[in-house]
Structure 1
Amino acid sequence: MDSTAAALFDSYHQDYEHIIRNVKQILEKDAQQQFGEQRKATLRRVELDLDSADDLISQLEIEVQGIPASIRPQFSSRLKQAKIDMNRTKRLAKDMHNQVSRGDLLGPNKRFNMSSDSPYDDANERTRLLAGHERLNDASRRLQDSTRLALETEDAGADILRALHIQGEQIANARGTLNSADTSIDRASGTIQKMIRQMYKTRFILGAIGVVLVIVVALILYFKLIRH
């Protein structure tokens, strides 16, 4: 499970870096050469890409929890840097939005009107939208895989807890049996001690009776043989 979490983290991180690189290129180069509605459309695509990047950041936060503690710091550092890059890119996109808003206040731009009908821009936009849609599908599939893995892990954990509960009951039963055995042994030991004391008492009584009989026989012989 741990290796799977690390592998998923790497996969999500690669997708995230790919999206962020494309967004930065669009904001720093492509969008700078566009105007009016063309730039607005580009910024809308940027917003979709940033939403996908946000989803990937969330996945990175989930996967980093399943990575072994011994190697988790390096992945946490990568996650932290990814969040920093994300915030910088969002600020760059926000600045571009502000530029567009100021441009709307100043009125339409003739350069955009001359180039907005170019079929190459429409084809490029469709290509980027399709690419963004494909990345979203990939992220969705990975999210489903991660969810499935989490459910399987939860089921395995539940099975382990049930097994531990059963073992706990068995240990408790065995402990009760041992306690009962200890009680029985104590009772048997007490009974044996009583029997030993009774045996010594019986021996003493028999010995006393034997002594008395010997004395009686000796007296009888004395009176019959000697006194006679």
Structure 2
Amino acid sequence: MSQALDAEPGSELFASYEADFRLAYAEITQKIDQIPELGAEPRKASVRAAERAIDEADEIIGQMAIELQNISSGSRAKLNARLRNYRSDLDKVKRELRRASEQADRTELFGARAAQSRGGGLSADDISQDQRQQLLSGTDRLETSSQRLRDSQRLANETESIGAGILTDLRGQREQIVNSRNVLMEADTYVDKSIRTLRGMARRCVPAKVVEIARNNGELIRF
């Protein structure tokens, strides 16, 4: 996520979906990394777990797409771009899962064939082909791991950008609250001054009224 979310209704929920997607994505990549090192049954279990995580990530992306409808059109374009990146990342790990599973199956098969060759069941050409396939498989795994590291770095950078944007929004909201409090305090000061002025005017008016009444009654009143 190269841009921070705007502080508007709906954006917080979209950010929450983004965090959920990253968790599911991390689980998928972890399961894919485990596949080459596992035996037949554990590998199948890891593949199933990765498939479930992919389904969950698909559902999260669907929720993000729905939530975009509640966000203003000005911010929607930026979020749509991020959503496309998430879909691309998910499609990529889907392909990686399929490739890792197929490579693991081939490696297991090649291992069995190599064992047969030690018993005289395979020719030199078969052994050479097996070794070549294993080398290609290792190269593919290395490229996949490198790409995954690049993707993880990109996600980390985007997460850092979101955090910085949220802090900026919070700082702006704090300044607004402080300014509002200052305005209220200033208004209270004006009200107090007005009350004191009215009270002074009232005190000055009362003796004048009393003197007028006394004069009308022919009495002398001193103050």
TM-score by length of 2: 0.50
Higher relative contact order (CA 8 A, sep 6+): 2
Structure showing greater radius of gyration is 1
TM-score by length of 1: 0.49
